[in-house]
Amino acid sequence: MQGRQQRGLARRGAPFGTAVVRGRSMLPTLREGDVLLVRYGAPVRAGDLVVARFVDGTVAVKRAVEPRRTRSGSPGWWLLSDNPGEGVDSRHRGAVAEDDVLAVVRLRVWPTPRVGRRLRDH
């Protein structure tokens, strides 16, 4: 995922942005090169795909599984890959603070539009 572009859009206050999927961690739901429309500051629900920043600075698309407390005790989310054999997620880095969940994926715009339940089901 191209995180630098994501942080720049969020700082400018744009309500929507795009993200490009890198890697295989979200297969079969998302593939390398998929372009996503994301909504910054949207409320997160369990099952949503989100763009989040892990403690090491990595920005990635993951599935929000459940609300949890972070190691510091602040509210956060447990984020997982749809393809558990690939990528890094909360199993490796712990819960992600709510403030570090940057955006919620609204739809895949390329190569073929896909929205709603098809992104929530895996």
Rounded Cα distance between 119 and 19, Å, is 15
pTM: 0.83
Rounded Cα distance between 93 and 90, Å, is 5
- The SS3 assignment for 5 reads helix
pLDDT of residue 114: 72
pLDDT class of 3 with cuts at 50, 70, 90:
very low
Q: Which residue has the tokens 């997620």?
A: 89
pLDDT class of 6 with cuts at 50, 70, 90:
very low
Give me the mean pLDDT over the 2-17 stretch. Answer: 59
Length of the chain in residues, anyone? 122
Show me where the domains of the chain are located: 3-120
Give me the mean pLDDT over the 5-29 stretch. Answer: 78
Q: What is the pLDDT of residues 79-117, one digit of tens each?
A: 999 999 998 999 999 999 999 999 999 999 988 877 665
- Provide the CATH number for the domain formed by 3-120 in this structure: 2.10.109.10
Contact in structure between 16 and 37 (CB atoms under 8 Å): yes
